[in-house]
Amino acid sequence: MKLTLRIWRQKGPDDSGKMVEYPLDDVSPDMSFLEMLDVLNEKLILDGEDPIAFDHDCREGICGMCSLVINGTPHGPEKATTTCQLHMRKFKDGEVIDIEPWRAKAFPVVKDLVVDRSAFDRIIEAGGYISAPTGSAPDAHAVPVPKPDADRAFEAAECIGCGACVAACPNGSGMLFTAAKVTHLGLMPQGQPERYDRVVDMIEAHDEAGFGGCTVTGECTVACPKGIPLDTIVRLNRDFLTATAGGKKKS
């Protein structure tokens, strides 16, 4: 296959950045999208040019590190698929492909296609956990968890923290990510004691990081490679209102 890539190049956070065109011949349809970039990078290196920086690690769709906006769509055209699992056979010979980083104030560009997603860590830090110091746990069977709750909690817990939801949201909101964690922990009996403090603290961290507010546009869930459902946001809203207007927040 022959392709024309137009890739966002940005030297660093203070550089303004621009799209640069790279023609590429000899792309095998069996390559993954990132392998195609590997091939381009090897060429660039040998030509004495700076290779394109992009994030990736597991290349199995689970670590959440890969993060490319391909033709305007986070993680590219294939549904429920991370960038690293996307293969070139999904593209047509001769196609022009635009590649950009996640764009959000809360995710500043580090270099080229690499962004800083530590804002997500700060949201978790604010309350995305259950306080259970090591060694303090009762026997695992002490508290049964109804299977439907366990299954729904699992569905929310599948979030890989990639940030595609933010990249897709017209408001640049991180609400789907936040809601996935609130839902996961809020559905487990172990998560109840901290449930209402958790949601308020996490939302505060979310807003502080500079994410936009959610107006339930629904683009996030379409882009999410793990299909985190929109009703997690409904749950978050409910818990948040119960905590604030309903006065359930303790501290």
Partner 1 sequence: MVQTSPRAIPALYRSTVGKKSIMAVTGVVLVLYIVLHMVGNLKIFFGPEEIDGYSAWLRTFGEPVLHHEWFLWILRVVLLASVILHITMAVQLTLRAKKARPVRYQHRAKVRGSYAARTMRWGGVIIFFFVIYHVLDLTTGTVNPGYEHGEVYRNVTADFAPERWYVTLFYTLAVVSLGFHLRHGLVSGLQSLGGKSPQKARTLNLAATAFAVVIVAGFLSVPFAVTVGLVD
Partner 2 sequence: MSDAAAESGVAGEERAVREANEKAEGIMGMSDSFYKSGEPIADAKAPQVPIEERWNTRKFEAKLVNPANKRKKTVIIIGTGLAGGSAGATLAELGYHVVQFCFQDSPRRAHSIAAQGGINAAKNYRNDGDSVHRLFYDTVKGGDFRARESNVHRLAEISTQIIDQCVAQGVPFAREYGGLLDNRSFGGAQVSRTFYARGQTGQQLLLGAYQALMRQVDAGNVELHPRHEMLDLVMVDGRARGVVVRDLISGEVKTYTGDAVVLASGGYGNVYYLSTNAMGSNVTAIWRAHKHGALFANPCYTQIHPTCIPVSGDHQSKLTLMSESLRNDGRVWVPKERGDARRPSDIPEDERDYYLERIYPAFGNLVPRDIASRAAKNVCDEGRGVGPGGLGVYLDFAGAIERLGLEAVKAKYGNLFDMYERITGENPYETPMRIYPAVHYTMGGLWVDYDLESTIPGMFVIGEANFSDHGANRLGASALMQGLADGYFVLPNTVGDYLARNPLDAVPDSAVQEAEGRVSEQIDRLLSIDGDRTVDSFHRELGHIMWEYCGMERTEEGLRKALDLIPALREEFWRRVKVPGSAADLNQSLEKAGRVADFLELAELMVVDALHRTESCGGHFRAESQDEDGEAKRDDVNFSYVAAWEWAGSGEQPVLHKEALAFEHVKPSQRSYK
Pick out residues in 137-166 that bind partner 2 (CB under 8 A): 137-141, 143-147, 150-151, 153-154, 157-158, 160-161
Is residue 40 within the footprint of ligand F3S (CB under 6 A)? no
Q: Could you give the angle at the alpha carbon of 206 between the alpha carbons of 194 and 103, nearest 5°?
A: 150
- Which of 73, 217, 237, 242 binds ligand F3S (CB under 6 A)? It is 217
CB of 106 to ligand F3S, least distance (A): 13
- The site partner of 229 among partner 1, partner 2, ligand F3S, none (C-beta below 5 to 8 Å per kind) is partner 1
**By C-beta, is 51 or 218 nearer to ligand F3S?**
218
Spatial CA neighbour of 172 closest among 85, 78, 74, 83:
74
Contact yes or no for 213/179 (Cβ under 8 A): no
Is residue 76 within the footprint of ligand SF4 (CB under 6 A)? no
Collapsed DSSP state (helix, strand, coil) of residue 55: coil
CB of 74 to ligand SF4, least distance (A): 7
**By C-beta, is 115 or 214 nearer to ligand FES?**
115
- Which of 97, 99, 126, 220 binds ligand F3S (CB under 6 A)? It is 220
Spatial CA neighbour of 74 closest among 247, 223, 239, 243:
223
CB of 61 to ligand FES, least distance (A): 5
Please tell me the distance from the alpha carbon of residue 19 to that of residue 96, in angstroms, as a whole number.
13
> Whose structure tokens read 């999410």?
224
**By C-beta, is 11 or 89 nearer to ligand FES?**
89
SS3 content of the chain, % helix, strand, coil (to 5): 35, 15, 50
Is residue 204 within the footprint of partner 2 (CB under 8 A)? no
Spatial CA neighbour of 39 closest among 24, 29, 49:
24
| Sequence-separated (6 or more) residues with CB below 8 Å from residue 203 | 178, 236, 240
**By C-beta, is 33 or 196 nearer to ligand FES?**
33
Please tell me the distance from the alpha carbon of residue 93 to that of residue 4, in angstroms, as a whole number.
10
Please tell me the distance from the alpha carbon of residue 231 to that of residue 146, in angstroms, as a whole number.
19
**By C-beta, is 109 or 162 nearer to ligand SF4?**
162
- The site partner of 90 among ligand F3S, ligand FES, partner 1, none (C-beta below 5 to 8 Å per kind) is none
Site for ligand SF4 in 177-206 (CB under 6 A): 177, 180
Contact yes or no for 72/98 (Cβ under 8 A): yes
Please tell me the distance from the alpha carbon of residue 181 to that of residue 174, in angstroms, as a whole number.
12
Site for partner 2 in 170-189 (CB under 8 A): 184-185, 188
Q: Which residues bind ligand SF4 (CB under 6 A)?
A: 159-165, 176-177, 180, 224-226, 228
